[in-house]
Every structure is written in structure tokens, then in C-alpha cells.
Structure 1
Amino acid sequence: MGRLDPRTIRTDPGEARDQIAQWHELLNDVPFATAHGWDVREAIRAHVLASPYPILPVDVARKWFAHRRDRLARHTDPTPAADPDDVTTWRAELLGARHAVAAGTAAPSTHRQLTGGGPHPDVEARLRAIGSCIPPAVRAELARYRPARAAREAAVAAGQPDALSVACPWCHAAKGQPCRSRRVGLDGHARGNAPRETPHPSRVDLAAAALPRPTAA
């Protein structure tokens, strides 16, 4: 500390001894360095570079407490290996893991993230069997709550073009969005914006024109 900031150096042996005793008492709970991102030398160096004032013990302590709070905020308690019926052992293991994270001797245990792997083999086999993640009986029950989607699925099943695969030139509905019933007022502005159960005819014609034509053999 004295090497980086000569203003903190005490030349008198008594003052130097008192200074060391004061710092030792105030920073007794602050580790010198941990294996997970904390080094008191980096904290002192960052203060000397950022602040025009001489460093004090409280400056180092605040940086350590902020580092510890950040670690605990990112920590999610893993399930202890102890028997949950043994409350004393279970609680001791849980608190031990928290204290280890707070002291910097263990890394925070975060939630496991979703991976990009495929579905479970059982789910994949079921999807191949029914053809969809929604069973036909459930899809039929949902049809009355999703009339636009039901009409779209019925048109595709009947071999008709999927109108929602293109944007509507009449109401300007985007791809995948149902058409809107828009009326033009006397002032020339659109009135009403209710979704339609069936797409506009011009949209159906546009989707039919976008279908690939069969090539002659």
C-alpha cells in the first residue's frame, strides 16, 4: 500500500506500528486473496488510480463486502446431500455452503441453464406417433378458442394455401398474424381493428400465387 501511495507511509516506528495494528484490527475479516476473483492488492490499486484521496481501511472493507454481496446474490442454494429429516445436519450443510461462498473459498452455485440439446427420446417417439406436441383431441377442444388458427389448419389440411404465410395486402397484417376488420371512415382513416376468423380473399390469392407450381415430367 505504501509503495503505491507514498502518502500512507509512516516514517516514525511508533506511528507505523500503530498504523499496522489499526489496519489489522479493521481488516481482520477481509482475506488477502481468494481463488474466485478477490485480491486485496487489486482493490488497493483500483482505489489509488480512481481516487485523489489516501486509501483508508474502510475503502478496502467496502470493496470486499461489495464483492461478497455480489457472490451471495449469484448463489442459489444447492440441495444438501444430508437427510432432510435430520434438520440439524441439513441446515448445517446449507449454511456451510453459504459461508464458503461468502468467504471466497467456493464458487457460487448458479441455476443450471437450458441446453440446446434435442428432446428426450420418449418425447421424440411420442411426437412421431401423434405428429404434433398437441394431441388431436386437445387441438379440437382448443379450436373454439383459436378460430383463426383453426381455420388456418383446416385450410392446410384440405390442401388449400396457407394464407397467413404471406402478409395481407388489404389490412397489412404481418406474416403469421390474422387479418383485421378495418373499416374506412368518412375522414378517410381506418376504423376498427378486430381480428378476423378468415383471411381476406386477396391474401388467399397471394398465398396461392406463392405456392410452387408442379413441373412437367
Structure 2
Amino acid sequence: MERREVAAALAYIGRLDPRTIRTDPAEARDQIAQWHELLHDVPFATEHGWDVREAIRAHILDSPYPILPVDVARTWRAYRRDRLARHTDTVPAADPDDPAAWRAELLSARRAVAAGRAEPATHRQLTEGGPHSDVEARLRTLGSAVPPAVRTALAAYRPARAAREAAVAEGLPDALSVRCQWCHAPEGEPCRGRRVGPDGRAQGRARRTTPHPTRVDLAAAERTRRAVR
């Protein structure tokens, strides 16, 4: 801030907190000089969210103590850190074989973001909304996010899922759509091997490639019940 901007900020503080007003001209000059020494690199306002008056008003609302120039400086530094933390470096237009130019462009972009002259580049953040229209069109054409050739290649590595998909393709009920009453596998999870030992306790928890017959029967009954509805 320039001296006239510091004087404007002090006048604003005086309106909100009369305790800070200096009526003696010499004291007022000293106050402006002190604030300018500490805040000469802090802007009065930027295009993207910073306004020293907002920082002053927030401090007066939150603290019972008169505001000091260091309070404004600390708020400005927190503002800079937040913006840089949300910034993702974009690829410089400079020749990558020229390290000096490449680094200078990166630093220039970061300084602009930190100073509030440019918005943080957040192009790598997740965004709301569904898939792109091109992706939707491709999914309608393929019928699935996994192409058939890839699904066939993966079948050997996930036999339970392959068996499920084959059963559904043949028109059989999807056994994994219901909970298994024998091994208590939840919906969507393959059945587990369950043996009863001599002591009457269940033994074995290995995944089964095929579901238990009782689960298949329960899925068929559930499909019939829904069809009747």
C-alpha cells in the first residue's frame, strides 16, 4: 500500500474503532509511517478476493484489542498461502530446453496468483457433473465401460464375476443380487466355502466361483416376485 492508501485504511479503522484515532498531527504522521513500513508490500485490494477493509473489519469483530499493522500483514500472508495451496502449475509456454525461461514463467504465474492478480489454476481438481458427451456416446455403442475383449481377457483373473456375467447372459437369475442364507455373503459379494467341523462350528472362508444352490433359488424367487409386481 502507498502512504495515501495506508491513511485511507487508518481512517476506516478510526470509524470502526475510535480508540485508534490520533488527533495530534505528529502522532498521526508517525502512525502512517509505521503502518507503511510494515504494509508497503500488502495491496489495498485485489481483483480476486482480497480487500484490506475486510481484514480490518473481521479483526475488529473478532478481537477486543485494537488492530495492529502486523494483524493485517498476517492475514495477507494467510491469504497468499491459501491461494498457492489451491494452485496447480500450468505447463509454461516457454521452451523446456531453456530452464531459465521455463522457471521464470512458473515463478511469474505463482507470484500473480499469490498477489491476487490471477485466480489459482485448479484444472486438475475433480469437477461436478456426469461423463462427457463423447464418453456417453461411446458407452451406448459398447454397452459397457469394459469392452468385450477386455472382459474376456480378465475372466481368468476374476472367475466369480465371470460366472455371474455368464449366468445373467444366459437368462439365469443373478444370484449375487441377494444375500446368501448359507454362508451369509452380502449382496454383490461371492459366496464363501462353509464347512461344519466335528465341533459343530463353521470352517473355511475361501471364495467360491459359483454361488450356493440355495442362493440361486432365492434369487430366482426374488426375480419372480418382482415380475409379479
TM-score class normalised by the smaller sequence: 0.7 to 0.9
In structure 1, the partner of 2:174 is 162
| Closer/same/farther in 2, CA of residues 46 and 194 from structure 1, 3 Å limit | same
The one-letter amino acid paired with 1:194 is A
Tell me which moved more, 180-189 or 13-22: 180-189
Identity of aligned residues (%): 73
Q: Any residues of structure 2 matched to 1:97-108 within 5 Å, and which?
A: 97-108=109-120
1:116 to 105, 119, 130: 130
In structure 2, the partner of 1:27 is 39
SS at match of 1:117: coil
SS at match of 1:100: helix
Q: Deviations for 1:24-65, whole angstroms, at most 9, x for unmatched residues?
A: 111001111111111111111111111111111111100000
Structure 1 CA distance, aligned partners of 2:65 and 2:203? 66
Matched, 1:60 2:72: yes
Pairwise CA RMSD: 2.7
For residue 207 of structure 1, report the CA deviation from its aligned partner: 1.4
Give the TM-score normalised by the residue count of structure 2.
Answer: 0.80
Structure 2 CA distance, aligned partners of 1:135 and 1:21? 71
Structure 2 CA distance, aligned partners of 1:8 and 1:184? 83
Structure 2 CA distance, aligned partners of 1:171 and 1:17? 84
The one-letter amino acid paired with 1:103 is A
For residue 103 of structure 1, report the CA deviation from its aligned partner: 0.9
Structure 2 CA distance, aligned partners of 1:212 and 1:204? 12
The one-letter amino acid paired with 2:57 is R
1:72 to 84, 106, 121: 84
SS at match of 2:193: strand
The one-letter amino acid paired with 1:25 is E
The one-letter amino acid paired with 1:193 is R
| Closer/same/farther in 2, CA of residues 190 and 36 from structure 1, 3 Å limit | farther
Matched, 1:3 2:15: yes
The one-letter amino acid paired with 1:107 is E
For residue 119 of structure 1, report the CA deviation from its aligned partner: 5.8
Q: Deviations for 1:103-144, whole angstroms, at most 9, x for unmatched residues?
A: 11111111244552346379818x736x54445554344223
